[in-house]
Structure 1
Amino acid sequence: MNIVVCIKQVPDAKDVRLDPKTNTMSREGVQSIMNPFDRHALEEGVSLKEKVGGKVTVLSMGPPQAEEVLREAIACGADEGVLVSDRAFAGADTWATSYTLAKAVETVGNADLILCGKQAIDGDTAQVGPGLAYQLNLPYVTCVQKTREVSETAIQVERMMDDGYDVVQLPLPALLTVVKDINEPRVPSLKGKMKAKKAEIKVLSAADIGAEEDCIGLAGSPTQVAKVFAPEPRGERRVFSGTVEEQVEQLVDEIKGYL
């Protein structure tokens, strides 16, 4: 089975800053990590490969430094990494990103199963996975919490719902987006780290994937960010200090003042 896992390098959520001039996140001086949801997609892809055989290709769209997360993925069990990188991709919204990834998947070729994290923590839109499935005209299931059965022609999964879960079976090739409940990602092994260090990361440009200029980057994005701002604080705020017991007493005294 040929499995493609889409991963994204994102800013660490603990250190996110916005640039009011460009209306984008400021990445300068901010540590980058593999998107946490994508880490679970990677683990599921590697686990499926171990069960049924095949190959796991990790695919990422981003600047040259995104190669770091591809090597990390290889250290965790992926077989090869592909980076889609070109200045022409800058400013892409979720639609343009989905189109670009779809062209890259087609270039890689012969994908039986595509796995994505439910969403990226820097945008939280949860749109790229379904958008990618639409661009590739593939059946898909979102919010997958468990893989039940998989064969050469079909896969059966549990889809998380508010009141439980659905059991869904769909033909292959297909696309799944996964939630964190699906597994516990493994830690890279020493052997995996050595393999990742030597691995050759294939880099694809817009021309390499046959992307149309008016469908990528800012030009291919129907949506654009008009303004970003930090919400103004509302209401009064108090900070309590001291031991837990002292803070509780302070909180009780504060509440009493409103009764």
Structure 2
Amino acid sequence: MKVLVPVKRVVDSNVRIRVRADGSGVELTNVKMAMNPFDEVAVEEALRMKEAGKVSEIVIVSIGPAAATDTIRTGLAMGADRGILIKTDQNVEPLAVAKLLQKVIDEEKPQLVLMGKQAIDDDYNQTGQMLAALTSLPQGTFASKIELNGDSVDVAREIDGGIQTVQLKLPAIVTVDLHLNEPRYASLPNIMKAKKKPLDEKTPEAYGVDISPRVKILKTSEPAARTAGIKVANAAELVAKLKEAGVI
């Protein structure tokens, strides 16, 4: 069984985000970048499936600049087999990403696509659903548990108020949540081995996909700073303040 895992290069989750002075977006100059945390979870899950003998090959695919090669190499160092970089310096919106991934699926014919439910930079949470629509494949979203069973996969989905388990016939697309697993760290020997693993480089034009933006970001701004709290003398004053605020 072949598993395809799309990954995205984003600002490291431990970095404090700074908005550009002109409000045109987030400052990326000299900022540490890393693999999207949700995608790391997807890579880890694919690796566990391979270690269990249920998966034979794991392919990592990323869409982005030349520097996204490092993100793919991270997945290869974790244990994936090969990578594909669709190289572009443009910002690629979810629909264009889904169309490119559709082309990759047509080419690679994976039995399972594992991907993060969203990226931490834009929080769209759209690509997996769009990809399922374009490919007409069954989808399981917000997965907190995944079990392969022959020609199907059981997906436990986190929903409001509980867990919903669905069974999808393979091939299928599953978007994962952070609660699914704890990603491993790549060892130094595996990091060195990853440099020799195959990594193909392609372009959106080679797939015949138009990645022209359809959405214009008008302004990016930081959230308002929290105001200082106040102390109340007694319970009666607390109740009065809550009433003033419309809480009760």
- TM-score tier by shorter-chain length is 0.7 to 0.9
For residues 120 and 132 of structure 2, the distance between their equivalents in structure 1, rounded to whole angstroms, comes to: 20
Moved more, 27-36 or 98-107: 98-107
Render the CA deviation track for 1:99-130: whole Å, top value 9, x for unaligned: 222223333x2111001111111011111111
Call closer, same or farther: CA 1:22–1:167 in 2, change over 3 Å: same
Render the CA deviation track for 1:183-204: whole Å, top value 9, x for unaligned: 1211213332121122232111
CA contact (8 A) 1:61 1:101 kept: no
Moved more, 127-136 or 53-62: 127-136
* Residue 141 (structure 1) aligns with: 140
**Offset, 1:227:** 1.9
* Residue 229 (structure 1) aligns with: 221
* Residue 12 (structure 2) aligns with: 12
CA contact (8 A) 2:62 2:85 kept: yes
* Residue 131 (structure 1) aligns with: 130
**Structure 1 outlier segments of 4+, above 6 Å:** none
Which TM-score applies when normalising by structure 1?
0.83
Runs of at least 5 residues in structure 1 that lack an aligned partner in the other structure: 239-250
* Residue 121 (structure 2) aligns with: 122
CA contact (8 A) 2:155 2:167 kept: yes
Render the CA deviation track for 1:165-200: whole Å, top value 9, x for unaligned: 111111111100011111121121333212112223
Identity of matched residues, %: 33
**Offset, 1:75:** 0.8
- Aligned positions of 1:65-76 closer than 5 A: 65-76=67-78
Render the CA deviation track for 1:205-240: whole Å, top value 9, x for unaligned: 1232232xxx3132xx2x221222234446x437xx
Output the amino acid matched with 1:71.
Answer: R
CA root-mean-square deviation: 2.1
For residues 188 and 158 of structure 1, the distance between their equivalents in structure 2, rounded to whole angstroms, comes to: 27
Moved more, 170-179 or 186-195: 186-195
> What secondary structure sits across from 1:33 in the alignment?
strand
Runs of at least 5 residues in structure 2 that lack an aligned partner in the other structure: 239-248
Call closer, same or farther: CA 1:54–1:99 in 2, change over 3 Å: same
For residues 201 and 18 of structure 1, the distance between their equivalents in structure 2, rounded to whole angstroms, comes to: 33
